[in-house]
């Protein structure tokens, strides 16, 4: 076939296809959602929702009224809401979790043989128990649904109830609850799995081999640092000198005891160095001298705090991905990561921007090493920055999501609308 030429030497391009295309539709389900809601899963889902919406997807977030992960106390009214252009639908939580009672129940349950564990009662107590959300999901047929994380009621009951296609970001780490029979049923009910790291994929496939039978992708997050960062700005504004930074929740399982013990040792040698805590301070007991707890920061201050730190510390052993480590690297700062976490050790190995520790003595020694050698800190930070810039971009995230949905739903989920008569 001959293509007509234009006035020049090049072949004329075909006329643009102006047929309207259906916007890609997606429903995201997460236990809590909002600009001031802490937690890696919640932050990741919010970033994903807002990014997809800005790329002309039609995104809905279905969540609960809860704001506090400890008790699931309401922080939002039920009903429809907006987060920028993202539509948010909130469902009421029935009942509240009693932290002390739930902790005692958990200890008792996981001491029992698996066949004798009262899984349903434990999962209802775990919450957030939102039966209206599950009922609504059973009739939500107009779009694929993506759940995150694996453990809570909206996923354990909601995913099997939702129409196909249904996808799961497990955000799994090695904990007793991962081995529950109900979790295996949830994984088996997912049409596809989207992992945060290869270490998470290996863990879930080892614990629940049914996961190997599902289409999967790895890489569900991107990092968008500000174009310009002033390293000294946060220190000036807050009257700080040199400091280490911890960003996240002060809750059991996050390694706060290890962090504070390591900081005590460091401060005995370097008393001029502070430890700055940002995020949710709810579970923090009496802290040693030199600890500065600043609570919630807005986005600009959050990035400024990362950029001003000598190093960012992630002491948790139970991680599926550390967003704050990636953010720290994006600002060019090094990290101190818990080597007992396979995920963090993997991030350190791939990113090249961290020192690892296993106990308070190693944490203090690694921090002192970076304080004494700013050039090494800068080299580590630059390595991390290059890694994040190359591997954590939104184009790759969106492409992986599109390919994963297409693998389980076919191309029709993003087809043009039917021609009008």
> How much is the pLDDT for 332?
96
> How much is the pLDDT for 388?
95
Helices 323-330 & 342-351 angle (0-180, nearest 10): 20
What does the block give as tokens for 149?
A: 């994380």
Cis status of the peptide bond prior to 266, with omega within 30 of 0: no
Residues in the chain: 421
Beta bridge partners of 195: 218
- CA torsion sign for 182, 188, 189, 195 is positive
> How much is the pLDDT for 286?
67
Instruction: Sort residue 219 into left (φ over 0), alpha (ψ -120 to 50) or beta.
Output: left
Alpha-carbon distance 154 to 152, whole Å? 6
Other Cβ atoms within 10 Å of 167 Cβ, number: 28
Same topology, domains 25-222+394-411 and 233-391? Answer is yes
Task: Please tell us whether the domain made up of 233-391 is placed in CATH 3.40.50.2000.
Answer: yes
Alpha-carbon distance 96 to 133, whole Å? 16
Alpha carbon dihedral 408, 411, 412, 418, in 10-degree steps, equals 180
Alpha-carbon distance 353 to 25, whole Å? 37
Burial (CB < 10 A; 0-12, 13-18, 19+), residue 338, is: buried
Alpha-carbon distance 294 to 31, whole Å? 25
CA 297 remoteness from chain centre: 18
Predicted TM-score (pTM) of this structure: 0.83
Alpha-carbon distance 400 to 420, whole Å? 32
**Cβ contacts of 82 within 8 Å, gap of 6 or more:** 88
> How much is the pLDDT for 227?
85
Pairing of strands 243-249, 216-218: unpaired
The residue written with tokens 């989920």 in the block is 413
The residue written with tokens 């350190």 in the block is 348
Burial (CB < 10 A; 0-12, 13-18, 19+), residue 160, is: middle
Q: Under a CB-based contact definition with an 8 Å cutoff, are residues 347 and 325 in contact?
A: yes
> How much is the pLDDT for 14?
45
> How much is the pLDDT for 255?
87
- Name the 3-class secondary structure at 278: strand
CATH number of this structure's domain 25-222+394-411: 3.40.50.2000
Q: Cα–Cα–Cα angle for 169, 22, 47, nearest 5°?
A: 35
Backbone φ and ψ for 81, nearest 5 degrees, come out as: -145, 170
Burial (CB < 10 A; 0-12, 13-18, 19+), residue 354, is: buried
> How much is the pLDDT for 2?
34
Distances (CA, A) of 283 to 31, 53, 161, 295, 344: 20, 34, 34, 12, 23
Q: Any idea where the domains of the chain sit in the sequence? A: 25-222+394-411, 233-391
> Which stretches of the chain score pLDDT less than 70?
1-22, 251-253, 281-286, 414-421
Backbone φ and ψ for 308, nearest 5 degrees, come out as: -85, -10
């Amino acid at each position: 076939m001959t293509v007509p030429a234009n006035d020049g030497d090049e072949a004329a391009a075909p006329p643009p296809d102006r047929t309207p295309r259906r916007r890609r539709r997606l429903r995201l389900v997460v236990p809590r959602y909002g600009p001031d809601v802490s937690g890696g899963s919640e932050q990741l889902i919010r970033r994903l929702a807002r990014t997809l919406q800005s790329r002309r997807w039609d995104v809905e977030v279905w969540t609960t009224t809860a704001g506090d992960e400890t008790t699931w106390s309401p922080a939002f009214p039920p009903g429809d809401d907006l987060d920028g252009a993202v539509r948010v639908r909130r469902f009421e939580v029935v009942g509240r979790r009693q932290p002390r009672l739930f902790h005692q129940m958990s200890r008792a349950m996981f001491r029992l043989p698996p066949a004798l564990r009262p899984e349903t009662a434990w999962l209802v107590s775990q919450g957030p128990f939102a039966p209206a959300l599950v009922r609504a999901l059973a009739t939500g047929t107009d779009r694929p649904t993506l759940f995150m994380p694996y453990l809570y009621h909206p996923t354990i009951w909601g995913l099997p109830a939702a129409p196909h296609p249904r996808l799961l970001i497990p955000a799994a780490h090695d904990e007793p609850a991962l081995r529950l029979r109900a979790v295996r049923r949830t994984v088996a009910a997912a049409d596809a799995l989207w992992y945060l790291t290869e270490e998470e994929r290996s863990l879930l496939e080892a614990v629940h081999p049914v996961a190997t039978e599902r289409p999967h992708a790895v890489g569900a997050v991107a990092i968008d640092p500000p174009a310009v960062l002033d390293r000294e700005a946060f220190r000036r504004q807050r009257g700080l000198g040199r400091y280490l930074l911890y960003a996240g929740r002060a809750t059991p399982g996050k390694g706060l005891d290890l962090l504070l013990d390591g900081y005590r040792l460091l401060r005995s040698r370097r008393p001029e160095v502070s430890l700055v805590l940002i995020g949710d301070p709810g579970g923090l007991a009496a802290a040693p001298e030199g600890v500065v707890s600043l609570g919630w920061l807005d986005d600009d201050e959050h990035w400024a705090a990362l950029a001003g730190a000598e190093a960012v510390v992630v002491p948790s052993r139970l991680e599926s991905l550390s967003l704050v480590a990636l953010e720290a690297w994006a600002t060019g700062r090094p990290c101190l990561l818990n080597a007992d976490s396979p995920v963090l050790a993997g991030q350190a190995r791939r990113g090249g921007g961290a020192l690892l520790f296993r106990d308070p003595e190693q944490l203090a020694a690694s921090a002192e090493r970076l304080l004494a050698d700013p050039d090494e800190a800068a080299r580590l930070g630059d390595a991390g920055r290059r890694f994040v810039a190359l591997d954590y971009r939104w184009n790759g995230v969106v492409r992986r999501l599109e390919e994963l949905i297409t693998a389980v739903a076919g191309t029709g989920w993003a087809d043009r609308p039917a021609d009008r008569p």
